[in-house]
Amino acid sequence: MIAATSFVRAPLADVYHAFYDINCWKDVLSDVVNVNVLYQDGRHQLFEMTVARPAGHETVRGIRFCSLNESLTLCQTVPPPGFSKMQGMWTFHSAEEGTRVVAQREIALVPGATLSLDDASQKLHRHLTANLEAFKCWLER
Amino acid sequence: MRELKVSLMLDAPVSAVAAGFWDISTWQAFWQPVRSVTVTYDDGVHQIFEMNVEWLGEVRTVRTVRFRDRQGTISFFCSTPPSNLLYQRGQWSFEQVSNGCRITAARTYIPKLDGQTAPEAFDAEFQERLNQILQGYSRFFASVGG
C-alpha cells in the first residue's frame, strides 16, 4: 500500500469537490492533457484521462465510486503502461481549519516490467505527493 | 428515484450462490431476454460488461459496472441502462439464514414512462421481472449442481 497525506486550508466540501470534479484536473495538474468523462451520476464515474509523460502521451481509463464528502475509490481498468493493477482511494477528513486528504494506492506490475516494485512504488509515492501538493496550492490560491 | 426489493431463498451455501452470481456469462442460460454478454473487465472485485437484451422485439445494449465487497454483496450501476429506464443502480446481497441463502435484489431507478403506464404499474412489472430473474437463477443453480 502506497499512501500520501496532505492538509488543505479549505472546507471539506470544497476539497472533496475539487477531487471529484475530474474535469477540473486539467487546471490543477500540469501533466493532464485531456479528460473525457464517459459516465457520471454523482455516485459513480467512468472516465479516460490522458497525461503527458517523457515517453509520450498515456491514456488511462478508470471507474470511481464517490461517497460525498468522504471518499473516492478508484479502479483503473486501463492502468498506465507497465502496471497490471492501479487501484486506491482518496479519503477526506475534517480537521481544524481545513481538511486532511489521504491518497492510497495498490499496484501490481506487468511481468517483465522495467522498474522493480520498490522503484515503481517510490516513483508513485512522489507522484501522489506532488499531485496532493498541486491540489493544495490550487485550493488555497 | 424509485426503489424496490425482491428476495428469494435458495437451499445452498451463501458462498456458492454469491460466486455463481458474479459469473455474468451464465445469465444467457437462465434469463431468456439475454442475447449475449461481453465482459470487458473483471479483476474479481470490479467488473464491466455489455449485455444485449431483447426488449419489445428490439435488441438493446445495457452497459453495467459491478463491484463486489468482502461480504460478497454485488453493487452495480448501469452506464447505459435498459431501454425502459433512465437510471439504474442496485445490489445483489446474499444472507445466510437457517435453511440456506436469501438473495435480495435491491434497485434504485428512474423509469422511462410512456405516458400510458402508471409508475405503480411499472414498479409491479419491474418487481415481477426481478422475481423471474431470481427464480431463473435458482433453477439454473440447481441444474448445474450448485
Q: A112-139 pLDDT, tens per residue? A: 888 899 999 999 999 999 999 999 999 9
Q: Which residues of B are less than 8 Å from A65 in CB distance?
A: 67
CB atoms within 10 A of CB A119: 12
Percent of chain B with pLDDT over 90: 74
Contact call for B41 and A77, based on CB within 8 A: yes
pLDDT score, position B91: 97
Contact call for B79 and A65, based on CB within 8 A: no
Q: Which residues of B are less than 8 Å from A63 in CB distance?
A: 46, 48, 65
**A117/B contact by beta carbon, under 8 A:** no
**pTM of the entire predicted model:** 0.90
Question: Phi/psi of residue B118, each to 5°?
Answer: -70, 145
Specify the pairing of strand A44-53 against strand A32-40: antiparallel
State which residue of chain B sits closest to A74, comparing Cα positions.
B46
**DSSP code for B11:** S
CB-based contacts of B40, cutoff 8 Å, min separation 6: A77, B48, B49, B50
Q: A14-43 pLDDT, tens per residue? A: 999 999 999 999 999 999 999 999 999 999
Closest chain A C-alpha to B78 CA, distance in angstroms? 9
Contact call for A44 and B89, based on CB within 8 A: yes
CB A94, CB A87: distance < 8 Å: no
Residue with cell 451464465: B26
CB B27, CB B37: distance < 8 Å: yes
- Cα-Cα-Cα-Cα torsion A114, A117, A119, A124, nearest 10 degrees, comes to 110
Predicted-complex ipTM score: 0.86
Question: What element of type H or E holds B138?
Answer: helix B119-143
Extended beta strands in A9-141, E state? 32-40, 44-53, 56-67, 71-78, 83-95, 98-109
What are the start-end ranges of the H helices in A52-105? none
